Amino acid sequence: MSLSSRREQPRPSLPTAPRGLRTAGDTATAVARAFAEIALTFYAQPTVEATVDTILRHAVTVLDGCDRAGIWLARRGGRIQTRAGTDDTVLHLDELQYLLGEGPSVDAIRQRRNLVAPDLASDPRWPRYGPEAVAGGARAMLSFCLFTEQRMHGVLNLYADRAHALGGATERLGQVFASHAAIALAAARDRDQLRQAIHGRQVIGEALGVLKEREGLTSEQAFEVLRKASQDLNIKLRELAAHVAYTGEHPAEMTGTPSLQPPGRPARSSPIG
């Protein structure tokens, strides 16, 4: 998923706070109120993709100095699964890090800690990525690990067109923002997994019904047919059941990998989480 352009919409906005959360009481109250609204907005999104979209749009609106934003989503074990950004520049810069094997995002995942790059033009930590990033339009970066107690969900990357534009209050507020983002992503992933599990059970039930009606089998016998065919054909049970349910084809008649898009049935989109 990528956001090809940034479309400005009304969003909760934080007041300018040079000293972050240490400013006067009314500013701290406004900050707290804004983050409460943001947390509710994040949590209300129906899918992982919608949650990522909302996080990115809020990042460029809420966090001072942030001109672009991107997210790397990680599978369990830390392997990057998906990269998304507010524009093509972000996707290009993220792809450079991935290909070069260096950069703030790469090190944030490797070291499991937040990283700040005040000026990529002179930062010695990334001798190859720094000049490429500057040429691509980014002078400063912040990479926040998206942690919950259970796992690391990825990295939130903030990009600035100006050097030293992402320090101070933005770094402090960004940590709070990233914490809310991580919690929302964890919840969205849990919901997506639950939906997949429910759908899988429904599809398996439909496939069992097909085999029971066609072959006169009991539920136990029909499930054993699916289980054995899944092992013999090296196909996930849910995918095999979907094929049987959609086509009515008996597993014994199948050769090779089944098509999961039968004629006349629209494609099903898979969540990115």
Residues 32-65 pLDDT 10s: 888 888 888 888 888 888 999 999 999 998 898 9
Residue 14, classified by CB atoms within 10 Å of its CB into exposed (0-12), middle (13-18) or buried (19+), is buried
The pLDDT assigned to 213 comes to 84
As annotated, the residues of the chain forming the CATH 1.10.10 domain(s) are 192-253
- Per DSSP, 87 falls in state S
In CATH, what is the architecture of 192-253?
Answer: Orthogonal Bundle (1.10)
∠ Cα 125 141 148 (to 5°): 100
CA distance 188 to 237: 25
Strands 115-117 and 152-160: unpaired
Lookup result for tokens 């070069």:
100
CATH of range 20-189; options 3.40.250.10, 3.40.50.720, 3.20.20.70, 3.30.450.40: 3.30.450.40
Half-sphere exposure (CA, 13 Å, Cβ side) for 156? 29
The span from the CA of 164 to the CA of 170, in Å, is 11
CA distance 234 to 108: 37
Q: Where along the chain do the CATH 3.30.450.40 domains lie?
A: 20-189
Is the pTM higher than 0.75? Answer: no
Return the structure tokens found at 97: 């890090």
* pLDDT band, very low/low/confident/very high, at 143 (cuts 50, 70, 90): very high
Element (H, E) at 187: helix 169-215
